[in-house]
Amino acid sequence: MASAFKEFAGCGEIDLEATRVEGGLKVSGKLRWASNLCEDPVIVPAAKTAEGVQLQSALGAETEGVTLGSSLALLGLNATACAWVSFEDVFIPGAQILSHDFLTLWHRCAQPS
């Protein structure tokens, strides 16, 4: 979710590209930093289409096309289980798409009541 937070804050961009396909999305790209990649993690990546639609989804790390990197050797941070994650034409079914416009949703949540 880090790239989604960076895009929301205006200090970065979403690292994954999404293409709409029959029944869902195909996602490709690389997350250079992901945390909490313990045994059998659920990954909640943000992706963006060529048209600029921002999507949030959820999938298991065992999904075909997902590759988890080796844990980064970070002095004092090894317990965070950080590594890179690569996506190569990963199919994400429509039922696993959490939002088709997460930035608008996050902006609404950030507004004081």
> What is the per-residue pLDDT for 33?
79
The string of pLDDT tens digits covering residues 4-54 is 667 666 777 888 999 999 999 999 999 887 777 777 888 989 999 999 888
> What is the per-residue pLDDT for 19?
96
Say if residues 83 and 67 touch (Cβ distance below 8 Å).
no
For the full predicted model, state whether its pTM sits above 0.75: yes
Domains and CATH numbers, the chain: 2-106 (2.40.110.10)
> What is the per-residue pLDDT for 109?
65
Q: How many whole angstroms separate alpha carbon 100 and alpha carbon 98?
A: 7
Q: How many whole angstroms separate alpha carbon 1 and alpha carbon 98?
A: 12
The sign of the dihedral angle between the CA atoms of 58, 93, 90, 4 is negative
**109 backbone dihedrals φ, ψ, rounded to 5°:** -65, -30
Q: How many whole angstroms separate alpha carbon 86 and alpha carbon 106?
A: 25
